[in-house]
Chain A
Amino acid sequence: MTNHTGLTSTMSSTMGKYLLKLYITGRTPQGNRAIANLQRICQAELDGQYEMEVIDVIEDPQAAEDARIIATPTLIKALPPPLRRIIGDLSNKEKVLIGLDLSSPGDEEGHRRG
């Protein structure tokens, strides 16, 4: 569960900075595609203000357990709040931007409460 007050206090130091975690299951074409897509989007939209971590759940099942990942690839936007999960190979850029709160809330179709 997201602890909003806790996250806000740690956020003050990393204001504006994106912390992104990408979970993949092995180096599959799907996983590699997700990495490439994410890098492209971040470079274009986040202007260096991001940290990106790729976690292979085959090597670290506990990380998947802790973050309660079931689908891969899963991108978690840990910071800034709110925490969001984006599932898939990130080939739909519009949806990724919505997930990262970088899109004007015009197309809300991709939003689903999980």
Chain B
Amino acid sequence: MAEPAQRPSVTKSPTGIEGFDHISLGGVPTGRTTLVSGSAGSAKTIFAAQFLAEGIRQYDQAGVFVTFEESAADIRANVSSLGWDVADWEAAGKWAFVDAAPQPGDEVVVSGAFDLGALVVRVEAAVRRTGAARVAIDSLGAVFSRFENEVIVRAELFRLASALKGMGVTSVMTAERTSEYGEISRHGVEEFVTDNVVILRNVLEGEKRRRTVEVLKFRGTIHQKGEYPFTIMPDQGIVVIPLSAIELDQRSSYTRISSGNAELDAMCGGGFFRDSVILVSGATGCGKTLTSTEFIGGGVDNGERSLLMAFEESRDQLSRNASGWGRDFDRYEREGLLKVVALYPESAGLEDHLIRIKREIDSFKPNRVAVDSLSALERVSSIKGFREFVISLTSFIKHQEIAGLFTATTNSLMGGESVTETHISTITDAIILLRYVEMFGEMKRGLTVLKMRGSAHDKEIRAFTIDGTGMHIGAAFRNVTGILAGHPRHVPSAEIERLDQLFRPEGPRGRD
């Protein structure tokens, strides 16, 4: 078989798998074989099948699926849950199976030397018949377990890889790994079959399963390094979440939007920026849900659309809360200005929640997104996974040039900081702290704008009250110190005056 002339550089073919082409910087090397290696249950077969499915759906390229493990019938049935009608594509001549799975009940006896010539012939025939540009082979480990003679199998798989190269098809082969962080594949397949290796992992981390994909090597071409989380969505298949691949290239807007509370707007120097992400942190019952309700109300007052992703309370509870503060969620929803999506955090993995939120944003096209609360989502993930989730969500929201408001719950009633806050405070543009303040045997509430990127803001800790019309921010706690630390202490007036004198000559407050 004639080898095609060596091209000066390696070109890539987009796989069409969402996010994967981003981290691989363009897809898998064209006309070559890429090894997809992973432990049991790491979604290798789905990757292989999706490589063909997306080829058909997005690029009108036919594909051949060579299966050594599951029968063609099993694969058709398994991927139908992902919304792919393989039988339909087969009828249209876009998908062909080479079913090399073991036959149940077959007795096989080996007598003397053999090769896998028939397999190569069948693959070639299927590629010719369909005019396929893509071939998926699943999985190599099953070939080794079928035939005792490893030497022959290695030589024959090498022959198959050369034949695929000769046909000019872009192919994906799957192989098994015994451990998540060890040798690339069982039987050392990668050494002789392919220059390109992608690893799929399914790691148990803090009792949670976390799927990641890593492009280990693409010979002669570049790719993003490291592991990227992915998830498997019904009706779509694998969706890779590209984190560090996301560029900080979103535009910044100077347009201000209302927080829904005139006093808070004033504290922020005239409202939030239109494409900023705001974190509201506070203890339970301190007014976080109220802040997000007013944020939504402020949008509705301006005819803007809001999406509320609720992970702590049901839609009805939220609606009841809102009506207690003079905000009518039912009416907002009727008018199409609000969509409430209430989900149990535990109902899905964090990656799935992320994609769900992105979908809702894509379909509802809101001007504002509120997530109440982010801390609830922290429960269902590892800290690393949670950080990645927030980074990805934040950058997505900013790319849409819409405003996002996240709430986070602190562990202690008085002071302290939330875990959420620790991990995401550098990512958000503005941070608003809500705190309980104990004074003379009474619980008061305090609010401060801790950070407001790109704007001057009020730095006082203000007292606020809540009534049937919402939040009312009043004067600063002039005579109290230690609120943020959780140990409010009353300071005599004389002392404050003295301190004021001390710092007065310092000039005007600068920008933050």
Contacts and interface: CB of A to CB of B under 8 A. Distances in A.
Interface of A: 1-2, 23, 25-26, 28, 30, 33-34, 37, 57-58, 61-62, 64-65, 68-74, 82-93, 95-96, 98-99, 110-114
- Top 9 nearest A-B pairs (CB, nearest first) are A25-B117, A61-B125, A114-B108, A88-B112, A91-B112, A95-B111, A99-B109, A89-B112, A70-B119
A84 B109 contact: yes
Contact of B111 (A2, A57, A87): A87
Nearest to A37: B112
Contacts of A65: 98, 122, 125-126
A111 B146 CA distance: 12
Contacts of B98: 65
Given A64-B121, A91-B111, 13 more contacts: A2-B106, A25-B118, A68-B99, A72-B114, A84-B106, A84-B107, A87-B109, A87-B147, A88-B112, A88-B113, A91-B112, A98-B109, A113-B106
A98 B108 CA distance: 10
Given A1-B103, A70-B122, A96 B117 contact: no
B158 to A, nearest CB: 15
A111 B113 CA distance: 16
B316 interface: no
B111 A70 contact: no
Contacts, number: 131
B108 A112 contact: yes
B103 A114 contact: yes
Given A1-B103, A68-B99, A70-B116, A57 B121 contact: yes
Interface residues of B, number: 31
A13 B106 CA distance: 24
B114 A69 contact: no
B108 A72 contact: no
Contacts of A84: 106-109
A64 B100 CA distance: 10
A110 B103 CA distance: 18
A86 B106 CA distance: 10
Contact of A72 (B109, B115, B146): B115
A65 B114 CA distance: 18
A85 to B, nearest CB: 5
Nearest to B104: A1
B104 A110 contact: no
B121 A86 contact: no
A71 B118 CA distance: 6
Most buried by A among B114, B119, B122: B114
A60 to B, nearest CB: 9
B486 interface: no
A23 to B, nearest CB: 6
B100 A70 contact: yes
A87 B114 contact: yes
A13 B415 CA distance: 92
A93 to B, nearest CB: 8
16 contacts: A1-B105, A25-B115, A25-B118, A25-B120, A34-B112, A71-B114, A72-B117, A86-B108, A87-B108, A89-B113, A90-B111, A91-B112, A93-B111, A95-B109, A112-B109, A113-B102
A58 B109 CA distance: 23
B110 interface: yes
B110 A95 contact: yes
Contacts of B147: 71, 87
Contact of B118 (A37, A57, A90): A57
B108 A113 contact: yes
Most buried by A among B102, B108, B119: B108
Contacts of B112: 33-34, 37, 88-92, 95
A102 B323 CA distance: 87
A113 B122 contact: no
